[in-house]
Amino acid sequence: MAFKNLGSAGELFPQSVFIIGSYDQNGTPNAMNAAWAGECSRHEICVNIGNHKTTANIVARGAFTVAPADAAHVVEADYFGIASGNDTDKAAASGMTFTQSEFVDAPVIEEFPLTMECEVTAIQGDKQGARIVGRIVNTRVDESMLDEEGRVDFDKMRPIVYDSTRRIYRVVGEEVGQAWGAGMTLM
């Protein structure tokens, strides 16, 4: 193998595409595409977002929702990342259905098959840019996305990830091994 140094840029792949839902001070729903996010424990989500309307909304309201974007809604997911909530009503322009979460003060986007509803437990930073941790209060999922044992079936859901090196979205796909099993051959 031949190696090349690429400098300090991170090249972790995949980056999940999360749609972060929030309300502003007037109760207007907003959505943002965020790739710098993930589960930081089984019951917590961490998002790292800069100076966005969503950041100010979450700081003010103390709640947000997280929906992994799916292949069926790649156009809307990308729109939520390129349009600014400061300039436009992204909820209305997207044509998607925003409803009030039953569990937190944030909107759920009905078309996304899975949504985690979170209340803020920690903020490092402020409305200008922050690392925000939210406790998952509830996870709602479209029943058609469950397997016969009641688990989320990502083959059915077809979540997308962001390939930052090529600036494209990809579908999560092929199974290549069983976790806590494939490595047993080396035991």
* Structural domains of the chain sorted by starting position, each given as residue range(s) with its CATH number in brackets: 15-186 (2.30.110.10)
Q: What span, in angstroms and rounded, lies between the C-alpha atoms of 124 and 87?
A: 26
Per-residue pLDDT tens listing for the chain (187 residues)? 988 777 776 666 678 899 999 999 999 999 999 988 888 899 999 999 988 999 999 999 999 999 999 999 999 999 999 999 999 999 999 999 999 999 999 999 999 999 999 999 999 987 778 899 999 999 999 999 999 999 999 999 999 999 888 899 999 878 888 888 899 888 8
Q: Is 171 helix (H, G, I), strand (E, B) or coil?
A: strand
Summarised one tens digit per residue, pLDDT across range 131-145 is 999 999 999 999 999
Backbone dihedral angles phi then psi of residue 158, each to the nearest 5 degrees: 60, 55
